[in-house]
Amino acid sequence: MRPAPRSIRSRLLLGTTFGVALAFLASGVLVYVLTRASLSTQLDEALAAHATVLVALVDEEAPGEVVVEIDLDGATRDTELFELWFDGRLHSRSRRLGQRALGRTTPDAIVDVTLPDGQAGRQLTRTFRPRREVPSDPPSTIEGVLVLANSTAAVDDAVARAARLLLVAGALGTLLCLALLTGVVHVGLAPLRALARTIAQVREPALTHRFDAATAPPELRAVVARLDELLARLGATLARERELTAEVAHELRTPLAGLRVTIEVALARERSTAHYRETLATTLAITVQTERLVTTLLALARLEAGATVLELADVAVDEVVREALAPVTVRIAERELALTTELETVELATDRAQLEVVVHNLLDNAVAYADHGGTVAVSLTRTELRVTNTGCRLTPAEAPLVFQRFWRGDAARTVGSHTGLGLAMCQRLLALLGGTIDVVVDGDTFTAVVTWPTGTPPP
């Protein structure tokens, strides 16, 4: 079994929460990086500016005589440390350094270092020439080096605090968004829930309920419209089924009533053997008739359900007609009918069994409904089959009704009579075979005209 798809609600919540968290994270990282960069730039700038100030405090009053006015204790800020070198020899350093050395690094650059007390820091090594007392004197030949370092602990602390703040704010923001979204999604999905409730209320058996697509939100309009179409189709099918069930019940009632009353009357008192025999023969005939009705109904139901599978082959239609004529010849003789046949040789790619049902039904009808001593004519050409009989009592207006289930016109119901389903069956069968059937009433002649697709190539 496939896992159930995630709900729209959780999809929306998960998606937006992930997005919001990502946005918070990205902006947090950005703020962190920018803050950190700006703070260390400030630190570096302060370091360079102070170095400039310190260098200005070194004078060469007379050649070789350097005066340093830097206060070894107070000249540098709380966390700053310095070393002063002349011509490669250490001149002085912050008293706080004691015997510990800063050491020179890349000249005229600010680099990351580890300070002697183990803290992280930034360090600037600046080379310079001490200032001459008299500006007109030639420049000093002494090479001075100032090493100035400062701890970055304060900056790091500030940045870490900012990071923590951002993290907490991001988490809280995400949670707040989640809570807000839960509400929004709930409200947003309300039309779906309303639709579900409306669907649940459709209980009437006729399925006549229709949803109003105009009142649905635009996203649901298509769904609602399809739903209405589906309901309409289902309702129509259901109505047809109900009608059929009622018709079938009605059609079965008459033979059942015949069976029951025949048997009850026969059993009411002692009868002769001949009478019992006659009763049994009658009930058997009714049973056979009912069985035929049920069989035909089932075949029709299968046809309508599309469960009939066609087996196409080349079929000699004239042969099918000749074979179908054989079983009715006795009745043709009994009823003194004049039979005329005009059969061309016709071969057709079709389903033989189904075609046989059609031809048999048409011939059977013609022989049954022809007047005593009347005429039955069968003609077959490349394009059509015509079965005609005289003795028709239908009006031209009634002709289309013959395709209705159980329509018998004015004919009396008799045992062994037709089920009233034959032509309905023929019509559906021919639709399946790609052909058509039509009936023509002209005076007292009734003609059934069957056509098939003319595209079928002759052999």
Partner 1 sequence: MRVLVVEDYPPIRLAVRDGLVDNGFAVDTASDGEEGLWLATSNPYDLIVLDLLLPKLGGLELLQELRKGGSAVPVLLLTARDTVDERVRGLDLGADDYLVKPFAFAELLARARALVRRRYDTRDPKLRIADLVIDTPRRTVRRGTRVIALSAREYALLEYLAIRSTQLVTRTEIWEHVYDFQSEASSNVIDVYICYLRKKLGMPQLIHTRRGQGYVLTSDA
Return the residues of window 288-307 that contact partner 1 according to CB under 8 A.
none
Helix axes 190-200, 218-267, angle to 10 degrees: 10
User: Of 40 and 282, which CB lies nearer to partner 1 in the complex structure?
Assistant: 282
Beta pairing class for 120-128 and 109-114: antiparallel
Q: Answer for the pair 332, 376: CB distance below 8 angstroms, yes or no.
A: yes
Tell me the β-bridge partners of 145: 85, 127
Residue 268 CB, nearest approach to partner 1 (Å)? 6
Region from 9-17, 131-139, 247-255, 421-429 binding partner 1, contact rule CB under 8 A: 247-255
User: Which member of 73, 204, 219, 410 binds partner 1 (CB under 8 A)?
Assistant: 410
Say whether 203 sits in a helix, a strand or coil. Answer: coil
Measured between alpha carbons, how far is 262 from 253 in angstroms, rounded to an integer? Answer: 14
Instruction: Between 144 and 255, name the residue whose CB sits nearer to partner 1.
Output: 255
Give residues with Cβ within 8 angstroms of 201, minimum separation 6. Answer: 209
Question: 291, 298, 339, 347: which is closest to 318 by C-alpha?
Answer: 347
Return the number of the residue (15 or 409) whose C-beta is nearest partner 1: 409
Q: Which stretch binds partner 1 (CB under 8 A): 195-203, 214-222, 280-288, 368-376?
A: 280-288
Task: With contacts defined by CB under 8 A, name the span among 64-72, 260-268, 299-307, 357-365 that binds partner 1.
Answer: 260-268
Applying CB under 8 A, among 31, 72, 113, 415 the residue interacting with partner 1 is 415
How big is the chain, counted in residues? 459
Contact indicator for 320, 352 with CB cutoff of 8 Å: yes
Dihedral angle sign, alpha carbons of residues 258, 259, 265, 270: positive
412 binds partner 1 (CB under 8 A): yes
Kindly state the number of chain residues that form the binding site for partner 1, as judged by CB under 8 A: 25
Query: Of residues 17, 27, 105, 282, which one binds partner 1 by CB under 8 A?
Result: 282
CA angle 13–166–32, rounded 5-degree value: 120
In the complex, what is the shortest distance from the CB of residue 413 to partner 1, in angstroms, rounded to a whole number? 5
Count of CB atoms within 10 A of residue 328's CB? 19
Residue 60 or 251 having the CB closest to partner 1:
251
CA–CA gap between residue 228 and residue 223 (Å, rounded): 9
Residue among 120, 160, 196, 261 that touches partner 1 (CB under 8 A): 261
217 or 409: whose CB is closer to partner 1? 409
Does residue 204 bind partner 1 (CB under 8 A)? no
Residue 370 CB, shortest distance to partner 1, in Å, is 17
Is 258 a binder of partner 1 (CB under 8 A)? yes
Count Cα atoms within 13 angstroms, Cβ side, for 397.
0
254 binds partner 1 (CB under 8 A): yes
CA 411 – CA 401 distance, rounded (Å): 14
Stretch that binds partner 1, among 76-84, 282-290, 296-304, 429-437 (CB under 8 A): 282-290
**DSSP 3-state of 161:** helix
What are the distances in angstroms from CA 198 to CA 164, 212, 230, 332?
51, 11, 15, 63
Q: Which CB sits closer to partner 1, 44 or 371? A: 371
> If binding is defined by CB under 8 A, does position 268 make contact with partner 1?
yes
| Of 136 and 414, CB closest to partner 1 | 414
Read off the amino acid at residue 372. H
Q: Is 259 one of the binding residues for partner 1 (CB under 8 A)?
A: yes
Is residue 239 at the binding interface for partner 1, with CB under 8 A as the rule? no
CB of 259 to partner 1, least distance (A): 7
CB nearer partner 1, residue 259 or residue 432: 259
- The reply on whether position 256 binds partner 1 by CB under 8 A is yes
Between residues 180 and 284, which has the closer beta carbon with respect to partner 1? Answer: 284
* Segment interacting with partner 1 (CB under 8 A) among 258-266, 304-312, 323-331, 332-340: 258-266
End-to-end CA distance of the chain: 53
- Does 67 contact partner 1 by CB under 8 A? no
Residue 261 in tokens: 């009353």
Q: Which of 234, 265, 284, 333 binds partner 1 (CB under 8 A)?
A: 265
Q: What share of the chain is helix, strand, coil (3-state, %, to 5)?
A: 50, 20, 30
- Measured distance CA(380)–CA(372) in Å, rounded: 24
* Binding positions for partner 1, rule: CB under 8 A: 250, 253-262, 264-266, 268-269, 282-283, 286, 410-415
